[in-house]
DNA sequence: TCGAATTACTAATTCGTTTTAGTTGCTATC
DNA sequence: GATAGCAACTAAAACGAATTAGTAATTCGA
C-alpha cells in the first residue's frame, strides 16, 4: 500500500480510504482515479491477514464434517453452505474428520486459531452427536445432527413430514395396502419416517397393519429378499415405501423378477433422491428428497445472524423433505 | 500473549519462544511450565492472522472447482486433497464456481488476497480448461483437467490405460467379441478409452470390429436401447464394455429383459466405480475406478513441493485407473 | 472581512505475532 | 583476577493494513 501511495503521490491512508470506499473520508474523484491506476499498475492486492488482524474479522466460516463418503449427495449440504457463505463474501474452511476424534479436535483448534466467525458441525447422516466443548467458544450451528440437550441450534431434515409425504402420495393415488420397508439400525430417520407413515395412514382412516412393516439393512440385496416376501403375502400390498433409494433398487429387481409391473401392479416410492439411482432406474423413481442443499444454506444463514451478535435461543430447525415425482407410483 | 506473559512473569518474547519451541532460545523447563500453565489458565490461542502476517505464510491452499454435482464421487478428489493438505497442517479453502466465470474470478481474487500458498484448479469431469491468467501468480496444479499448451502441471486419470484394463480383463476371461458402448460427446475419456480398447484387442491379436463400437449418451435409458441392438446382432457379443456405470445399469436391464444372464451369457464391465450403482446392481458390477481420491492427494503433494520453491517442469501426471472386480464378468 | 465550516488530505497508532539483536548474571579457564 | 562463554532471558522492530485525530487550504455566510 505504501508503494501504491508513493506512485499515486498520496499517503497510505488515502489509499486505504479509496480501496475501502470509506464514507467519512472526502477524496476527490481525480485522486481516486490516480490511486486505482497505481493499484493496477503495481498489481497490488490487499493482504487479508493484515486486514483481518486490524479489523478482527476473518471473513471465514469453518465446516467440520465427519464423512463425505457414505451418502455422496450429502455433499450438497457443503455446497449449500459454501454458496451461502460466498454470498456473504465469506470463505468456507472445510475439514473432513473421517469420524476420528483427534482429527476433529485439531481441526477445531486450527479453526479457532484462524478466528473463524462461526462453525458448522455437520454429519453425513442424521444422528445425535457430542461435539467438543470448544465449539461453544464461537457461534455454532449443527448440520444434520443434534445434541442430546438441544443446547445448540440445529438444522435437520423433517423425517416425520418426509414419511408422511411419501405415504400420503401413495394414498392419494388410491393405494390402501402400503408396505414400508424400514431400516434396522435405530436412528432418527427410522423413527421419524415410521411415525410419518403411521400418521398419514391414520389421517386417511387406513388401518396400520404391522405385517406390512418390514426391516432390513438399506442395500439392494437384502431389500430384494424382503420385497419378495411382501409380494407373496396373501393380501399383497399394492405399494411399497422404501426407507431409501438403494432399497428401492432392490425392490425394483424383485418386482420385475416376479413379472409384476411398476407402477401398474406395484408402486414404489423411495427416499433420499439419489439422482444417480432414482433417475437411472426404469421407470424413474418417485422419491422424497433430503433437502441437503437447503439445509446447508439455512445453517450458514443462521450462523451469519448469530455471528452478527444476535442472541437467539438454540432452535431445532426441521427442514421439509419435498416429494420428487417421477414415474414409479 | 502479553497477558500470558504477565501471568507467567516473563516477557512476551519468551511466551513466543515457548509456544513455538524455538530451538535457538534457551528457556528453562521451569519457565516453560509456567508459560504453559498461564496459557491454559487464560485459554489463550495464537492468532493465525497475526502469525501469518509476520511469517508471510498462510498455511492455506485454495481449491477452485466447477461442479460437485454431476459426478458425486469426484468429491473424493476434494477429500483426497483436503486430507493431504491436512497432513501438511495446511487448510483447504474450497470454492465451487458452478461453472460461472465471474464467480471463478472473484474466488481467485479472494484466495490471492488470503495469500494461499498454492492453488488447485479442479473440474468434475476430465476436460480441457482455460483458467484465468492470475492462477500463474501462485503455484497451481490442475486437477482432472489440462490446458491446451500443457503449460501448467496437471493430474489426470489415465483413460487409455483404463480402457485397456477393462478390455484386457474381458479378454483374459476368454471373450473374443467385445462390444464397447462409448459416449457421444467428444472428451478425453471417449478417445482415451477407445484407444485403450483398440490397443488391448490388437495386443491380444483380436480384430477390431466397428459394428461392435456404439455411441450413445451416458444414461441408462439410451444404453438400454443400444444394448438391445447389440444383442440382436447375428454374431452377438459375449461382453459389453460400457463407458460408465450409469450405462451399465441400462445394459443390465436390457440383458435381463431378453432373458440372458450376467455374466454367464453376457459379461458387463463399467467405468467410474460409482459405489452407489456398482455395488447395488445384481450381480455387482465389475468396473474400472477413476482414481479421484489419489488424484486429489497427488495434486496437493505436487503443490506442496512447488510451494516449497522447487522448480519443476509442468508435467502431466496420468494416474492409473484400477480394475474393481465384482461379479459381472 | 473574519471566523466557521467544509474539503481533501496525512501522521501516527494499533492489531498480535515473529524475530533480531541485545542484556544480565554466572561459571569455568588460564 | 580478568575474561570468554554460556544460560536465560528481554526490548524493539517488523509484518500490512484500518482507523483516529489532526492539519492546511478553500469556501461560505453575515
Per-residue pLDDT tens for A140-159? 999 999 999 999 999 999 99
Protein-to-nucleotide distance from the CA of B3 to the C1' of D6, whole angstroms: 30
- Note the pLDDT of residue A280: 86
Q: What one-character DSSP code corresponds to residue A74?
A: G
Q: Is the CB of B281 less than 8 angstroms away from the CB of A220?
A: yes
B60-65 β-sheet, strand order = A316-319, A154-157, A140-146, A118-128, A60-65, A91-96, B91-96, B60-65, B118-128, B140-146, B154-157, B316-319
Distance, in Å, from the CA atom of B329 to the CA atom of B326, rounded to the nearest integer, reads 8
* Residues in contact with strand D, defined as Cβ under 7 Å from any of its atoms: A 1, 12-13, 16-17, 19-20, 22, 44-47, 50-51, 53-55; B 10-14, 17, 25-28, 30-31, 50, 53-54, 56
* pLDDT tens digits for range B15-64: 999 999 999 889 999 999 999 999 999 999 999 999 999 999 999 999 99
Distance, in Å, from the CA atom of A90 to the CA atom of A75, rounded to the nearest integer, reads 19
Residue from the list A47, A69, A220 with its beta carbon closest to the beta carbon of B113: A47
Q: Is the CB of B112 less than 8 angstroms away from the CB of A45?
A: yes
Chain B residues in contact with A68 by the CB 8 A cut-off are 75-76, 78-79
- Note the pLDDT of residue B76: 87
Strand D: which nucleotides have any atom within 7 A of a protein Cβ?
7-12, 14-21
Q: Are residues A20 and A80 in contact, defined by beta-carbon separation less than 8 angstroms?
A: no
- Note the pLDDT of residue A71: 62
Residue with cell 420397508: A181
pLDDT band for A67, please (50, 70, 90 cuts).
confident
C-alpha A143 chain-centroid distance: 7
Which of A19, A102, A276, A287 to mutate against chain B (most B CBs within 10 Å)? A276
Residue from the list A95, A256, A274 with its beta carbon closest to the beta carbon of B276: A274
Residue with cell 490461542: B45
Protein-to-nucleotide distance from the CA of A140 to the C1' of D23, whole angstroms: 47
Q: Is the CB of B96 less than 8 angstroms away from the CB of A76?
A: no
- Note the pLDDT of residue B161: 98
Mean pLDDT within A87-115: 93
Whole-number average pLDDT of chain B = 95
B65 → chain A, closest CA residue: A79
- Note the pLDDT of residue B210: 97
A103 → chain B, closest CA residue: B86
Of the candidates B54, B39, B53, B264, the residue with the CA atom closest to the CA atom of residue B173: B264
Question: Peptide bond before B283: cis, by omega within 30 degrees of 0?
Answer: yes
pLDDT band for A72, please (50, 70, 90 cuts).
low
Chain A residues in contact with B76 by the CB 8 A cut-off are 68-69
Residue nearest to nucleotide C14 (CA to C1'): A54
- Note the pLDDT of residue A74: 75
Query: Three-state SS for A99?
Result: coil
* pLDDT tens digits for range B266-284: 999 999 999 888 998 989 9
Q: Is the CB of B49 less than 8 angstroms away from the CB of A53?
A: yes
Q: Are residues B200 and B163 in contact, defined by beta-carbon separation less than 8 angstroms?
A: yes
The shortest C-alpha distance from B321 to chain A (Å) reads 19
Question: E strands along chain B, which residues?
Answer: 60-65, 91-96, 118-128, 140-146, 154-157, 178-182, 213-215, 239-242, 267-272, 286-289, 316-319, 323-324
Distance, in Å, from the CA atom of B5 to the CA atom of B71, rounded to the nearest integer, reads 53
pLDDT higher than 90, residue A131: yes
pLDDT higher than 60, residue B69: no
Q: Are residues B182 and B163 in contact, defined by beta-carbon separation less than 8 angstroms?
A: no
- Note the pLDDT of residue A276: 83
The shortest C-alpha distance from A10 to chain B (Å) reads 23
Residue from the list B109, B110, B115 with its beta carbon closest to the beta carbon of A49: B115
pLDDT band for A254, please (50, 70, 90 cuts).
very high
Whether any strand C atom is under 7 angstroms from the Cβ of B39: the reply reads no
Cβ contacts below 8 Å, chain A against chain B, sum to 134
pLDDT higher than 60, residue A70: no
pLDDT higher than 70, residue B65: yes
Q: Are residues A150 and A316 in contact, defined by beta-carbon separation less than 8 angstroms?
A: yes
Whole-number average pLDDT of chain A = 95
- Note the pLDDT of residue B59: 96
Distance, in Å, from the CA atom of B267 to the CA atom of B286, rounded to the nearest integer, reads 9
Q: Are residues B90 and A110 in contact, defined by beta-carbon separation less than 8 angstroms?
A: no
Whether any strand C atom is under 7 angstroms from the Cβ of B17: the reply reads yes
Chain A residues in contact with B326 by the CB 8 A cut-off are none
* pLDDT tens digits for range B108-117: 999 999 999 9
Distance, in Å, from the CA atom of B201 to the CA atom of B209, rounded to the nearest integer, reads 10
- Note the pLDDT of residue B74: 75
The shortest C-alpha distance from B272 to chain A (Å) reads 12
pLDDT higher than 70, residue B3: yes
Distance, in Å, from the CA atom of A2 to the CA atom of A11, rounded to the nearest integer, reads 7
Cell of B282: 445384481
pLDDT higher than 90, residue A76: no
Of the candidates A186, A230, A43, A29, the residue with the CA atom closest to the CA atom of residue B138: A43
Residue B132: HSE in the Cβ half-sphere, 13 Å Cα cutoff: 20
Distance, in Å, from the CA atom of A169 to the CA atom of B163, rounded to the nearest integer, reads 44
A137 → chain B, closest CA residue: B43
Q: Which of A209-223, B63-77, B223-237 has the lowest mean pLDDT?
A: B63-77
Query: Three-state SS for B286?
Result: strand
Question: Residues of chain B with pLDDT > 70: what percent?
Answer: 98
pLDDT higher than 70, residue B70: no
Q: Is the CB of A79 less than 8 angstroms away from the CB of B93?
A: no
Nucleotide lying nearest to B48, CA to C1' measure: C17
Q: Is the CB of A45 less than 8 angstroms away from the CB of B276?
A: no
pLDDT higher than 60, residue A190: yes
Question: Peptide bond before A145: cis, by omega within 30 degrees of 0?
Answer: no
From the CB of residue A326, how many other CB atoms can be counted at a distance below 10 Å?
A: 17
B323-324 β-sheet, strand order = B213-215, B178-182, B239-242, B267-272, B286-289, B323-324
Cell of A236: 399383497
Chain B residues in contact with A52 by the CB 8 A cut-off are 49
Protein-to-nucleotide distance from the CA of B24 to the C1' of D2, whole angstroms: 29
B301 to each of B140, B291, B295, B297, how far by Cα in Å?
12, 15, 10, 6
Q: Is the CB of B75 less than 8 angstroms away from the CB of A93?
A: no
Whether any strand C atom is under 7 angstroms from the Cβ of B51: the reply reads yes
pLDDT higher than 70, residue A69: no
Amino acid at each position: 500500500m505504501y508503494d501504491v501511495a508513493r506512485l499515486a503521490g498520496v499517503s497510505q491512508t488515502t489509499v486505504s480510504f479509496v480501496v475501502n470506499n470509506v464514507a467519512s473520508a472526502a477524496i476527490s474523484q481525480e485522486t481516486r482515479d490516480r490511486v486505482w491506476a497505481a493499484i493496477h499498475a503495481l498489481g497490488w492486492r490487499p493482504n487479508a491477514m493484515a486486514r483481518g488482524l486490524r479489523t478482527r474479522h476473518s471473513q471465514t466460516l469453518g465446516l467440520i464434517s465427519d464423512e463425505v463418503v457414505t451418502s455422496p449427495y450429502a455433499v450438497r449440504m457443503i455446497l449449500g453452505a459454501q454458496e451461502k457463505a460466498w454470498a456473504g463474501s465469506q470463505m468456507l474452511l472445510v475439514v473432513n474428520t473421517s469420524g476420528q476424534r483427534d482429527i476433529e479436535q485439531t481441526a477445531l483448534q486450527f479453526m479457532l486459531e484462524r478466528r473463524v466467525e462461526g462453525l458448522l458441525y455437520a454429519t453425513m447422516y442424521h444422528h445425535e452427536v457430542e461435539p467438543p466443548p470448544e465449539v461453544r467458544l464461537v457461534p455454532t450451528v449443527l448440520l444434520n445432527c443434534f445434541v442430546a440437550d438441544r443446547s445448540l441450534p440445529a438444522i435437520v431434515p423433517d423425517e416425520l413430514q418426509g414419511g408422511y409425504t411419501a405415504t400420503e402420495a401413495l394414498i392419494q393415488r388410491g393405494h390402501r395396502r402400503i408396505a414400508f420397508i424400514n431400516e434396522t439400525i435405530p436412528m432418527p430417520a427410522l423413527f421419524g419416517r415410521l411415525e410419518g407413515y403411521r400418521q398419514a395412514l391414520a389421517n386417511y382412516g387406513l388401518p396400520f397393519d404391522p405385517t406390512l412393516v418390514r426391516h432390513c439393512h438399506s442395500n439392494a440385496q437384502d431389500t430384494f429378499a424382503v420385497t419378495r416376501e411382501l409380494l407373496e403375502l396373501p393380501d399383497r400390498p399394492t405399494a411399497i415405501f422404501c426407507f431409501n433409494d438403494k432399497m428401492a433398487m432392490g425392490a425394483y429387481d424383485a418386482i420385475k423378477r416376479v413379472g409384476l409391473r411398476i407402477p401398474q401392479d406395484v408402486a414404489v416410492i423411495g427416499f433420499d433422491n439419489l439422482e444417480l439411482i432414482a433417475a437411472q432406474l426404469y421407470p424413474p423413481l418417485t422419491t422424497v428428497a433430503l433437502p441437503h442443499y437447503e439445509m446447508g444454506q439455512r445453517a450458514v444463514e443462521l450462523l451469519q445472524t448469530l455471528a452478527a451478535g444476535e442472541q437467539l435461543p438454540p432452535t431445532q430447525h426441521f427442514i421439509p423433505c419435498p416429494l420428487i415425482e417421477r414415474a414409479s407410483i
